[in-house]
Amino acid sequence: MENENDERPLVKDLLKQYASKIAELRVIIENEDSYSKEHYDEIWMLRFLLSHRKVSKASRAAIHTMKFRQERKMNELGDIRNKIHDNMDPQSERYFDMNQKFMKFCKTNTAIMFTQPDRDRGLINIVCPKEIDFQGINVNMSRDEVSEAYLMSNEISYQVLDEVTRRTGKLTKLLKIVDITNFPLRSFNIEALKRDAAASKLMEDFYPQLVGTVVLVNSPSWVNGLWRMFKALFPKRFMEKLALVQPLKRPKDVKYFLKYVSKENLMKRYGGSNSNWPVSSPSHLL
């Protein structure tokens, strides 16, 4: 039975709608030395047009991304979906070096989790800031190292979502849940917020249409006040995807989750029926 909350648009309809712009964009990027027909097809171009709308802006962003990927040899990594985070093994040797280093500062295996309960739907990334030693990260990792960890995580997520998009024919995105339940004021770290903002900009620049919604769950009142002060650090496209929710107090807030996961698979703490915690890792990818 089709999920009535599944609002993902059909790729074939989007390709038809943006056909002329895709053709214009292709003419522009094909002249670049960093262009690869194998890696930058019409679906890849579509994501840039959906984010930037105008061909001129989309072409600049696409060229910037191609050059970056060429410099970093990202296309040479091949299929790295099996390096996705394992909730039960946060120190896995499968991880890239910087991801492994970052995870050393996660106090529990619920600090960062990925799950994909329905293989035909998107990934869900759950982050619990209370369980992360931000001060330890700031002292022991440079900004470039933190960006590298985010980059590789985004590349893995993109590959997973791209495969689902192509197989199902529906534009599939990631749901990011930032669970701020019981996050103490003393743990707030401005440097960590700045690093996260920089990583978010990287994600928006190089992985357009990767994230569908960023849900901040159960944020204390002090978080809301500080957020108003520092939200300018984050890119506008990121902010447009943000929602502050309290599903257990406001049942209607569950709608932000159900676009990405069925109520049966959604965790109880977010208004669903799934009592498993920690959530199940995407074992089919490991």
Same domain? For 214 and 103 the reply is yes
> For residue 203, what pLDDT band results from cuts at 50, 70 and 90?
confident
Range of the domain at 72: 11-77
- Are residues 150 and 237 part of one domain? yes
Please give the average per-residue pLDDT across 8-19, as a whole number.
98
Task: With cut-offs at 50, 70 and 90, classify the pLDDT of residue 1.
Answer: very low
d(CA 73, CA 75): 6
**Residue 133 counted as domain residue:** yes
- Which is more confident, 198 or 274? 274
- Tell me whether residue 242 is in a domain: yes
Q: Which residue has the higher pLDDT, 2 or 133?
A: 133
Residue 5 forms part of a structural domain? no
Task: Give yes or no for a contact between 84 and 286, defined as CB atoms under 8 angstroms apart.
Answer: yes
Considering the domain architecture, whether residues 209 and 182 belong to the same structural domain is answered as yes
Sign of CA dihedral 207, 205, 174, 282: positive
Tell me how far apart the alpha carbons of residues 152 and 199 are, in angstroms, rounded to a whole number.
11
Same domain, 59 and 101: no
Question: Quick check: is 57 in a domain?
Answer: yes
The pLDDT value given to residue 212: 93
With cut-offs at 50, 70 and 90, classify the pLDDT of residue 194.
confident
Residue 231, pLDDT above cutoff 60: no
Token pair 């499968």: residue: 94
pLDDT band at 240 (very low <50, low <70, confident <90, very high): low
Query: Do 66 and 148 have their domain in common?
Result: no
This prediction has a pTM of 0.90
- The mean per-residue pLDDT over the stretch 57-69 comes to 97
**Long-range contacts for 13-17 (Cβ within 8 Å, ≥24 apart)?**
14/46, 14/50, 14/171, 15/42, 15/43, 15/46
What percent of the chain is modeled with pLDDT above 70?
90
Say if residue 61 is in the same domain as residue 168.
Answer: no
Specify the number of domains making up the chain.
2
Asked, for residue 159, whether it belongs to a domain, the answer is yes
CA 210 to chain centroid:
6
93 and 213 in a single domain? The answer is yes
Is residue 127 included in any domain, yes or no? yes
pLDDT digits (tens, 9 = 90+) for 139-187: 999 988 998 999 999 999 999 999 999 999 999 999 999 998 877 656 6
Q: What percent of the chain has pLDDT over 90?
A: 71
Average pLDDT score over the chain: 90
Whether 246 is covered by a domain: the verdict is yes
Locate 43 and state its tokens: 């679906």
E strand intervals along the chain: 112-115, 124-127, 174-179, 211-217, 242-245
Predicted confidence (pLDDT) per residue in 83-123, tens digit? 999 999 988 999 999 999 999 999 999 999 999 999 999 99
What integer pLDDT is reported at residue 187 of this predicted model?
A: 66
Residue 281 backbone phi and psi in degrees, to 5? -70, 155
